[in-house]
């Protein structure tokens, strides 16, 4: 019987052959999850830069037209990938909620640096890792990036 920690509690119930197949599938899932985490990190870096750009140029945070396009496109891609389009939309909204939290942190940081006047914000420096980690939720921030 395998003692591979990835087996979890399944090791207690399964014959070795089935366990082997289960472990192989779980290894693939783990690889996919790692890729998702690193990809999400890149996505938040990109939206972070957009947030800084918008704050520096007094651009409106929300952009409903952009958001509508994003949702329609992702649903089309989801259909092509045989993923539930409704799930794709739910996923985008889940990500956007986090983007809102990040942008609120940028906005707070920018108003601290230059209240009222044209802010001089250098890319990436507006949000400390600590601020990014636990920003407060806000309502008037860029949803779509």
Q: Which residues contribute to the site for a second copy (CB under 8 A)?
A: 5-10, 13-14, 18, 21-22, 25-26, 28-30, 32-44, 46-47, 49-50, 53-54, 57, 59-60, 63-67, 69-70, 73-74, 77-78, 81-84, 86-88, 91-92, 94, 98, 129, 132-134, 144-145
DSSP 8-state assignment for residue 134: S
CB 70, min distance to a second copy, A: 7
| Least Å from the CB of residue 115 to a second copy | 22
Does the CA dihedral 82-83-84-88 come out positive or negative?
Answer: negative
| For a second copy, the closer CB: 93 or 111 | 93
The SS3 of residue 111 is helix
Length of the chain: 145
Contacts of 54 (CB under 8 A, 6+ apart): 60, 61, 103, 142
């Amino acid at each position: 019987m395998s003692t591979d920690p990835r087996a979890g509690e399944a090791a207690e119930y399964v014959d070795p052959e089935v366990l082997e197949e289960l472990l192989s599938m779980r290894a693939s899932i783990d690889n996919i999850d790692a890729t998702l985490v690193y990809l999400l990190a890149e996505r938040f870096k990109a939206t972070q830069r957009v947030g800084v750009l918008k704050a520096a140029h007094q651009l409106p945070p929300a952009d409903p037209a952009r958001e509508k396009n994003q949702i329609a496109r992702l649903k089309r891609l989801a259909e092509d990938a045989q993923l539930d389009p409704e799930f794709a939309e739910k996923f985008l909204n889940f990500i956007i909620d986090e983007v809102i939290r990040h942008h609120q942190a940028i906005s707070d940081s920018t108003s601290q640096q230059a209240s009222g006047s044209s802010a001089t914000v250098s890319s990436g420096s507006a949000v400390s890792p600590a601020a990014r980690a636990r920003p407060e939720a806000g309502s008037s921030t860029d949803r779509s990036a």
